[in-house]
Amino acid sequence: MKKKNCAETCNPFKLFGVINIERNIFKITFFALLIFSPYLFAQKALPQTQPAQSGDLVEVLKSDELEIINLPGDESRRVINGVFRHKGALLYSNLAIQHINSNMIEAFGNVRILQGDTLTVTGDTLYYYGNTRLAIVSGRKTVLKDTKKTLTTRKIEYDMANGIAYYKQPGRTVDEENVLTSKEGFYNTATKEFTYYKSVKLVNKKYTLTTDTLLYNSITKWSYFNGRTKIVNKDGTVVGTRGQYNTESTQSAFHTRTTVDNETYTLTADSLIVDGKSSDGKGKGNVVIVAKKDKTVLNGDEGYYWKTKGYSKIFGHAYVRNVVSEDTLYIRADTLYSYENSRDSTRKLIGDRNVFIYKSDFQGKCDSITYDTSDSIIRFFRKPILWSDQHYQMEADSITAFLVSNEINRMLLKGKSFVITEDTLVKQFNQVKGRTINAYFQTGNKLKQVLVDGNGESAYYAVDDKQKNIGLNRVECGRMNLLFEENRVQRIAFIGKPDGKLIPPSKIKPAERQLDGFNWRISEKPTKAKTTWQEK
């Protein structure tokens, strides 16, 4: 009958049943050696022939009971309530089998490892390999404690030489502020860094973070995540796939397409930095800011949002969409600013430099623009020019458009004001200019009335009842009132003494067809695609 290797197959609690016949003789010999020759006993317990240097051997500091087991190829010790020491670490257990040849320990019951002043590992079972300093601790509840952090799982593999603890079963890490769970994880006891994998969830009283992979430094409080990540706090939600988050300052930085969403706005960008305390955000790359209350959308290459101020700034291919009724107003500029009025949820939009504007019924360009949704007033500054699908063009030093029910009701032109309407019947242009012009519109954005105040001039074509051109009217008057129908002057009233003449069609000279400063610039009229940077 072959002898079994006790270290591999024997139950340590039944070990002495195998050598029951030699038990009494062994004890007598043991006590005789203990009394008469301590040196001889030491030579027997720690043989000279070892696979490791004597300084690398696990040392027994104390025990309630110690017995030596000699089996072919395996010299062992059975230690009850023992304490071992190795490389500065202490190992405790109710029962341990120390394999001398392999420098390995199997320990059972109330297992505990104490390393340094702060780190302890506890469990039910321990396998410790002294030559590599690998400790495998398992049990119904296996716990690693390091200063103010506690890791709980079913099994921990702890590389004590490098200070790396690893678990492959669901684990839970708790410190003063956070509870972190995952299905797998590493802990570097030197750098105080945790690496978590699979169904990672970080929870504290301020927020909850879920992700696939997370590296958490408990000293710096920075978490680095990879995979779909979601951060939820009382002010909103952040969703991305790769980035970092500080659990103390609640600042986050995402390096892939990311969205911040709260009750007032949504901010999306290719990369994003968010201050969790203030909910302020900075985005780069295809930035989209959506104001939920008034359906305003800002787009650009780079953008900022200050939640407490209700203020946004966006630039680089910047444009804004504001949905009113069933129509959409588009404004493009080098830089766009948005200010939210928290009292009534209205908004003021500002465009700075190279402004284009597009709406289904009118278009324009200027160098600066403001749009206030509270009163539906759009102000154009610095060389503004506007066009309509109803064949008119307006220019001035500044233009103010007043919208009612999403349609232009009135336009106020100040300084070098010039209005041109295209008369499709005679295929010519009616023109009015002056210092200040008020233009009124009827339903469908059709020009209804033009009031000129100061230095008024007009050139318009008169037609008879049969819609036949009867000549060109050239009039100069300080103030005048023109009534339009189908882009043609139907009636004109002058305040003051006018100076004018009617030139028959056959006698109209080319120079007389245009007022000084006339420039029909319809080719510059922005399209929707151009206003949204889809074409040059």
Residue 18 is predicted with a pLDDT of 32
Residue 325 is predicted with a pLDDT of 62
Other CB atoms within 10 Å distance of the CB of residue 48: 6
HEC profile of 399-441: EEEEEECCEEEEEEEEEEEEEEEEECCCCEEEEEEEEEEEEEE
Any idea which of 170-174, 186-190, 343-347, 411-415 has the lowest mean pLDDT? 343-347
pLDDT bucket at 487, cuts 50 / 70 / 90? low
Any idea which of 2-11, 131-140, 161-170, 400-409 has the lowest mean pLDDT? 2-11
Identity of the amino acid at 483: L
Other CB atoms within 10 Å distance of the CB of residue 179: 13
And the tokens for 317? 């291919």
pLDDT tens track for 69-116: 888 878 899 999 999 999 999 999 999 999 999 999 999 999 999 998
- pTM for this model (two decimals): 0.71
pLDDT bucket at 226, cuts 50 / 70 / 90? confident
pLDDT tens track for 235-283: 788 899 999 888 788 788 999 999 988 888 888 999 988 887 777 888 9
pLDDT bucket at 324, cuts 50 / 70 / 90? low
Q: What is the DSSP string of 20-32?
A: GGGHHHHHHHHHH
Q: Residue 332 to residues 207, 336, 392, 407: CA-CA distances in angstroms?
A: 37, 8, 22, 20
In the chain, % of residues over pLDDT 70: 89
pLDDT tens track for 454-486: 888 989 888 877 778 888 989 888 888 888 877
* Segment 137-142 mean pLDDT: 96
Any idea which of 132-146, 340-354, 373-387, 469-483 has the lowest mean pLDDT? 340-354
Handedness of CA 26, 28, 31, 33 (dihedral sign): negative
* Segment 30-42 mean pLDDT: 31
* Segment 37-64 mean pLDDT: 55
